[in-house]
Amino acid sequence: MYMEIIDYIRQTPLLSTALSIALILVVSYLINRLAQKGVERFIRRVIKRSHFKSSRDEQQREDTLISILHTGLGVAIWTIAGLLILDAAGVDIVPLLAGAGVVGVALAFGAQSLVKDFLASLFILSENQYRVGDVLQINQGVSGLVEKITLRLTVLRDLDGRVHYIPNGNIELATNMTMEFAQVAMNINVSYDADLDKVESVINEVGKAIYNNEKWSGVVLEAPHMLRVDSFGDSSISVKVVCKTAPIRQWDVKSEILREIKKAFAAEKIEIPLPQRVIHTKKS
């Protein structure tokens, strides 16, 4: 029975070719999956925790290496699979391989941007400029959470959920807002009638309370405090408030500082002024 099926397949070239291609696809898929799992296991084992300041830094470095290696392996495996499929379909791939050098020279002139992207990705990886999970601003423009890094692209998702694909070769300035630690730096406006010493005391007391709150343990790395009187505005004095936080948590901490300062100012009758305009009229 089985021999008859095998003979029938052999005697039907179209069916034989289709089965060969299907087998190549299945085997390539399995090899790709196993290779990805093997790479991930290898990276997790090789990267040493002692080389990083925190487990988050270690995790991000591992995720970035895994992302790039997965992409490279996938390209290599499916390129080989494509050549095997062409061979199974009866296409002579020897001339293709022989002409690969000539084609490569031709492509080098037309694909300089791809080479640029690839080289840029190597520098990003080797210099550890940013990792998967960091919050990044590219070229002082688009910003978002790094979801993926490949040999060609950096993928960001912004607060609106939009996904941005930026070729690595086009990145001239990458501002990493979550490397090792983050900083809250904001201005608070108070009225010209306010006692600035009292303002500073209230802000610093609020900062100490947040820092000592167990809810923010390990997130707020130093007590929020008033740094300086920053500027005189049209209807208010601006003071600078700063503190150091864990990476990617600065926006949560900023929200908590603003919430508690608003409560404290209301209790101490410190005015946060609205914009004012004085109009002088002339009598005719």
φ and ψ of 222, to 5 deg: -150, 155
Final residue belonging to a domain, choices 135, 156, 176:
176
Same structural domain, 126 and 57: yes
Same structural domain, 54 and 191: no
Same structural domain, 134 and 206: no
Model confidence at 45, pLDDT cuts 50, 70, 90, reads confident
Same structural domain, 117 and 190: no
Number of domains composing the chain: 2
Structure tokens at 242: 């700063």
Give bridge partners of residue 117 from the DSSP assignment: none
Same structural domain, 125 and 10: yes
Q: Does residue 279 sit within a domain?
A: no
pLDDT score of 116: 84
Final residue belonging to a domain, choices 141, 176, 211:
176
Averaged pLDDT, 146-152 = 88
- Looking up residue 244, the CATH number of its domain turns out to be 3.30.70.100
pLDDT score of 102: 54
Same structural domain, 143 and 191: no
Q: Does residue 7 sit within a domain?
A: yes
Residue 251 identity: W
The tens digit of pLDDT for each residue in 213-224 reads 999 998 999 999
Averaged pLDDT, 48-74 = 74
- Is the confidence at residue 89, as pLDDT, over 80? no
Per-residue CA distances from 26 to 9, 21, 205, 246, 267 (Å):
19, 9, 65, 45, 69
What percent of the chain has a predicted confidence (pLDDT) above 90? 40
The tens digit of pLDDT for each residue in 93-147 reads 666 666 555 555 555 555 677 778 888 888 888 788 898 889 999 999 999 999 9
Looking at per-residue pLDDT, the higher value among 170 and 274 belongs to: 170
φ and ψ of 203, to 5 deg: -60, -45
Same structural domain, 8 and 110: yes
Distance, in Å, from the CA atom of 167 to the CA atom of 114, rounded to the nearest integer, reads 9
Task: Point out the least confidently predicted range of 10-24, 229-243, 249-263.
Answer: 10-24
Looking at per-residue pLDDT, the higher value among 199 and 81 belongs to: 199
Q: Does residue 103 sit within a domain?
A: yes
If you search the block for the tokens 């990705």, which residue do you land on?
Answer: 121
- Looking up residue 58, the CATH number of its domain turns out to be 1.10.287.1260
Final residue belonging to a domain, choices 133, 158, 176:
176
Distance, in Å, from the CA atom of 138 to the CA atom of 62, rounded to the nearest integer, reads 22
Same structural domain, 225 and 254: yes
Same structural domain, 107 and 226: no
Q: Does residue 94 sit within a domain?
A: yes
Q: Does residue 278 sit within a domain?
A: no
Same structural domain, 170 and 221: no
pLDDT score of 15: 66
Please enumerate in sequence order all residues whose Cβ is within 8 A of that of 278, keeping only pairs 6 or more positions apart, or say none: none
Q: Does residue 274 sit within a domain?
A: no
Up-side HSE of residue 148: CA atoms within 13 Å toward CB? 14
pLDDT score of 36: 86
- Is the confidence at residue 50, as pLDDT, over 70? no
Q: Does residue 16 sit within a domain?
A: yes
Domain containing residue 204: 182-267
Up-side HSE of residue 269: CA atoms within 13 Å toward CB? 1
Averaged pLDDT, 79-94 = 78
Averaged pLDDT, 178-206 = 93
269: left (phi over 0), alpha (psi -120 to 50) or beta: left
Same structural domain, 169 and 226: no
Residue-by-residue DSSP string for the chain: -HHHHHHHHHH-HHHHHHHHHHHHHHHHHHHHHHHHHHHHHHHHHHS-GGGSSSHHHHHHHHHHHHHHHHHHHHHHHHHHHHHHHHHHTT---HHHHHTHHHHHHHHHHH-HHHHHHHHHHHHHHHTT---TT-EEEETTS-EEEEEEE-SSEEEEE-TTS-EEEEEGGG-S-EEES-SS-EEEEEEEEE-TTS-HHHHHHHHHHHHHHHHH-GGGTTTB-S--EEEEEEEE-SS-EEEEEEEEE-TT-HHHHHHHHHHHHHHHHHHTT---PPP---------
φ and ψ of 226, to 5 deg: -80, 125
Same structural domain, 204 and 166: no
Structure tokens at 168: 């690595």
What is this structure's pTM?
0.60
Distance, in Å, from the CA atom of 24 to the CA atom of 21, rounded to the nearest integer, reads 5
Q: Does residue 276 sit within a domain?
A: no
